[in-house]
Amino acid sequence: MPASSPQHAGPESEATAPGPSPAGEVKPRVRVAVAGIAGRMGREVGRAIHADPDCVLVGAVDVAPHAQGRDAGQLAGVGELGVPVCASLAEMWESAHPEVLVDFTIAPAAFVNAQAALERGVSPVIGTTGLTADQVETLRRLASERATGAFIAPNFSIGAVLMMVFARQAARYLPEVEIIELHHEKKVDAPSGTALRTAQLILETRGLRMAQRPSQEDVRLEGARGGDLEGIRIHSVRLPGYVAHQEVIFGGHAQTLTIRHDSTDRTSFMPGMLLAVKRVRSLSGLVVGLENLLDLE
Ligand code: NAP
């Protein structure tokens, strides 16, 4: 017996709305599928989609052996929803008809999943990091050809987006900067998508001014000065105990400015993810970055 409330019943009830809007119109809920539902982020996304009255979880995919044959609601810890975890997208398309596919898997899978979604007119919302610039351009082209909204966010937390916006502002006055990002020990890609995006935003602001500062350094251990993106040093720390953290440190004459953001729990990513899920169908083509969905003026 499904444990879901009438408001959050499984896929068969997709036409049911959470209730009449003030104008008396019934607003259909967004039909969402999640790729990577058994992962750390996927389970949190499953919980957040289920708890949101404007969304309904209709499909779930994961390749993890322990997820096969399970119910997505059980994996997410919200009780049975009648949404089976499928081993492949092809299987999921047969049992569910999502409008939006939220992806928190690994980069190669996210790229393939997003292409498959766009081919079917389903809007991908990609939280998975590590996609290459070429892959992003391919998705941009496909989204435009299919006239389907698509969204990628290297970071869904509002505080991290503000950190990037403030870093971009500071770079106008303090162009010399290094980035330290700190994540849990199971994170696969380095540096983080957030660190790369922050560096790219800073580079757009300052251009290549002071980018290749001539160095007299005597580096005694390879990698000690971090990775180098057009002159911006990025340092990646991986340790148990961290979730997702970043410091952007600007140096100027006799002063430094540190902008730091900490995600101490994965729930910090959920409001941004839900915003993207609700907005992605109205986007024209691919949009990258949560800052583009927020009113930051
Ligand atoms: P995780 O715990 O390893 O979860 C990933 C899940 O996806 C695993 O269950 C994995 O199964 C599954 N998977 C792998 N390939 C798949 C495929 N082809 N189809 C379906 N499922 C597949 O990782 P996580 O910590 O949740 O992180 C996931 C991604 O989100 C990472 O790229 C991370 O950097 C990113 N992230 C983004 C944000 C943001 O705000 N944008 C925030 C946090 C994390 P197996 O374990 O069997 O491989």
The atom number, within ligand 1, closest to the CA of 106 reads 32
Does the pLDDT at position 36 exceed 90? Answer: yes
Worst-scoring range by mean pLDDT, 14-18, 104-108, 158-162, 285-289?
14-18
Q: Indicate the pLDDT class of residue 295, thresholds 50, 70 and 90.
A: confident
Q: Percent of the chain beyond pLDDT 90?
A: 83
Answer whether 139's CB lies under 8 Å from 118's CB: yes
Q: Read off the pLDDT of residues 132-171 as tens digits, 9 standing for 90 and up.
A: 999 999 999 999 999 999 999 999 999 999 999 999 999 9
Ligand 1: which of 40, 101, 105, 266 to mutate, judged by most atoms within 8 Å of the beta carbon?
A: 105
Q: Read off the pLDDT of residues 103-118 as tens digits, 9 standing for 90 and up.
A: 999 999 999 999 999 9
The model's pTM is 0.86
Per-residue model confidence (pLDDT) at position 26: 75
Interval between CA 271 and ligand 1 midpoint (Å): 18
What residue ranges line ligand 1, CB within 6 angstroms? 35-36, 38-42, 61-64, 104-106, 109, 127-130, 153-156, 187, 244, 269
The atom number, within ligand 1, closest to the CA of 184 reads 25
Q: Number of H helices and number of E strands within the chain?
A: 8, 12
Does the pLDDT at position 209 exceed 60? Answer: no
* Residue 27 per-residue DSSP state: P
CA-to-CA separations, 206 to 9, 250, 257, 260, in angstroms, rounded:
51, 13, 16, 20
Q: Which has more confidence, 214 or 6?
A: 214
Answer whether 125's CB lies under 8 Å from 48's CB: no
Q: Percent of the chain beyond pLDDT 70?
A: 89
Per-residue model confidence (pLDDT) at position 1: 32
Count of alpha carbons within 13 Å of 92, Cβ hemisphere only?
A: 32
Catalytic annotation, residues: 183, 187
| Structural domains of the chain ordered from first start | 11-152+267-293 (3.40.50.720), 158-212+220-264 (3.30.360.10)
Does the pLDDT at position 67 exceed 80? Answer: yes
Average pLDDT over the chain, rounded to an integer? 90
Mean pLDDT computed over 96-102: 97
Alpha-carbon distance of 142 to 103, in angstroms, equals 17
The atom number, within ligand 1, closest to the CA of 36 reads 7
Interval between CA 234 and ligand 1 midpoint (Å): 23
Interval between CA 35 and ligand 1 midpoint (Å): 8
The atom number, within ligand 1, closest to the CA of 130 reads 32
Per-residue model confidence (pLDDT) at position 24: 66
Interval between CA 23 and ligand 1 midpoint (Å): 40
Per-residue model confidence (pLDDT) at position 20: 55
| Angle 260-127-86 from CA coordinates, rounded to 5° | 145
Nearest CA to ligand 1 atom 31: 128
Interval between CA 103 and ligand 1 midpoint (Å): 8
Does the pLDDT at position 7 exceed 70? Answer: no
Ligand 1: which of 43, 75, 101, 106 to mutate, judged by most atoms within 8 Å of the beta carbon?
A: 106
Per-residue model confidence (pLDDT) at position 155: 92
Does the pLDDT at position 269 exceed 70? Answer: yes
